[in-house]
Amino acid sequence: MSRWLGPIAMLIVTALATHWAALHYAPGVIMDRTLATLKNRGIAEHAFTTPQRITPQSQAVVRSSPDLFYSLCRYDLSTNGESSAWLDVTIGEWPEYQSLSFFDAHTNNFATIRTAGSAQKVRMISSMAAPGEDAADIVSPTLRGVVLIRRLAPTQALFEEAKAASNADSCTMVQP
C-alpha cells in the first residue's frame, strides 16, 4: 500500500494544479482564439470594421443579437515592442441607444461608455504604459483586446442608417 502513497499524492497535486491552470487560462485562451477568428473574418486591427447584419450565416461570436449593429476594432498596443502607444477612439452620433465597450485579453469588460444622441472621443492607454504618459480616459489592463460599438438597429433600414453613422467612428493607434 505504501508504494501507492507517492502516486496518490501526485494525483491530488496534479488534479488541483490542472484545475487551477485550466480555470485561470481558459478566458485568455478563449479570447485569443476569438481574436484570431475575428482577424480571419476580416475584423481590422486599429480600425472599426463595418459589419454585416448579424444573421445565422454571418455570426462570428456566440449569442450575438440580431437587433444590434456591432462594430469591432481589435487592438494591440505592443506593436513594434512599444507599450506606451495609445488608442484614440471616436464613436459617432446615433439618436438611439449606443455604447462603446472595451474588453481586455482575459474577456473582462473593463469600461463601457453610453453615448446615445451624441458623439464622443476617448483615449485609452495600457496599464503597462510608462508613468507620465498623457492623461487617458480609460486604462486597459492588457496590451491586447477588443473595442466594440453597439447600436440599437433592429430593422434593416435602421441597420443601414447605423452603418452610415459609423463613418464617423474611428479607432486609431498612436505611437509617441
Partner 1 sequence: MGTALRYGLALMLGAAIGIGSMLYMAGLWPGMKPLDFGDIEVRGWRADFAIGSNAADPYTRARVARHGLLALAKSEAVYFTRTTDSSGEHLREECIYRLKVAEMPAEWWSVTLYDADSKLPMNEDEALSINADQNVFAEANEEDVGAVMTAIIAPQKPQENRLWISSRGAGNFDLTLRLYMPDEALLADPQSALEPPSVERLSCEDEA
The residues binding partner 1 (CB under 8 A) are: 3-4, 6-8, 10-24, 26-27, 30-31, 34, 54-57, 59, 61-67, 97, 99, 101, 103, 106-110, 112, 114, 146, 148, 150, 152, 154-155
Cα angle value 78/134/118 (rounded, 5°): 95
CB of 134 to partner 1, least distance (A): 25
In this complex, which beta carbon is closest to partner 1, that of residue 77 or of residue 147? Answer: 147
Q: CA–CA separation, 145 vs 173, rounded Å?
A: 13
In this complex, which beta carbon is closest to partner 1, that of residue 14 or of residue 50? Answer: 14
CB of 26 to partner 1, least distance (A): 4
In this complex, which beta carbon is closest to partner 1, that of residue 4 or of residue 130? Answer: 4
CB of 171 to partner 1, least distance (A): 15
CB of 7 to partner 1, least distance (A): 4
In this complex, which beta carbon is closest to partner 1, that of residue 28 or of residue 88? Answer: 28
CB of 70 to partner 1, least distance (A): 8
Contacts of 98 (CB under 8 A, 6+ apart): 91, 114, 115, 116, 149, 150, 151, 152
Q: CA–CA separation, 73 vs 94, rounded Å?
A: 18
In this complex, which beta carbon is closest to partner 1, that of residue 113 or of residue 119? Answer: 113
3-state secondary structure 120-171: EEEEEEECCCCCCCCCCCEEECCCEEEEEEEEECCCHHHHHHHHHHHHHCEE
Contacts of 66 (CB under 8 A, 6+ apart): 53, 54, 55, 154
